[in-house]
Amino acid sequence: MAEVRFYHLMRTGVEQALPRLLGRTLEAGERAVVRCGDAGRLAALDTALWLCEEPAWLPHGTSASGDADLQPIWLTTEDEAPNGARYLFLVDGAESARLGEYVRVFDLFDGKDEAQVARARNRWRETKAAGHEQSYWQQTDRGWERKG
C-alpha cells in the first residue's frame, strides 16, 4: 500500500509548489513521476522545472526528450513509471490505477477551484477504501501544515 498525501494548494499554483516537493524527493534519493492532466500542463511544468530558482536544478525529462531510465523526474500524461520511480505526483486531477506500486503518492489540487476540491474529496474516499495510508496537507502563510 502507498502513503497518499493530499496537498491542498491555497497560496500558489502547481508550478510554484511542485519544484520544492520534487527537490525534497531528489534529496531523499528517490525518483519521481509527475502525471499531468493534459499535454498543455505537461509543457508548462517542463518549462517551470527548468526555470525554477529553488531548487536551482531539477533534472527531468518527457517522452519528447526520451531516455526515461536516465531521468530522476519523469513528466507524463500516461499512467507509467518508465524511470523506475517510487514517488508519484498527481496534478490536475490526474489519477493512477497503480497507486500500490508506489511508496508515496502526492496528490496536488487547487483549493480555489471547487471542482478540483470535490474531485480530491472523491479520491480521498477511494484511496481510504483501498486501504492506503493517507495524510492531508494545507498550504498556509508559513508553508505546509498537516491537518487532521
- Which pLDDT does position 61 carry in this prediction? 97
- Which pLDDT does position 56 carry in this prediction? 87
Q: How far does CA 22 lie from the centroid of its chain?
A: 8
**For 97-147, how does the pLDDT look when each residue is reduced to its tens digit (9 = 90+)?**
999 999 999 999 999 999 999 999 999 999 999 999 999 999 998 889 999
Residue 148 above 90 pLDDT?
no
The torsion of the CA quartet 137, 139, 144, 148, rounded to 10 degrees, works out to -30
Q: Say whether pTM exceeds 0.75.
A: yes
- Which pLDDT does position 145 carry in this prediction? 93
Give the three-state DSSP class for 42.
helix
Residue 42 Cα distances to 48, 126, 131, 141, angstroms: 10, 25, 30, 27
**For 38-97, how does the pLDDT look when each residue is reduced to its tens digit (9 = 90+)?**
999 999 999 999 999 989 899 999 999 999 999 999 999 999 999 999 999 999 999 999
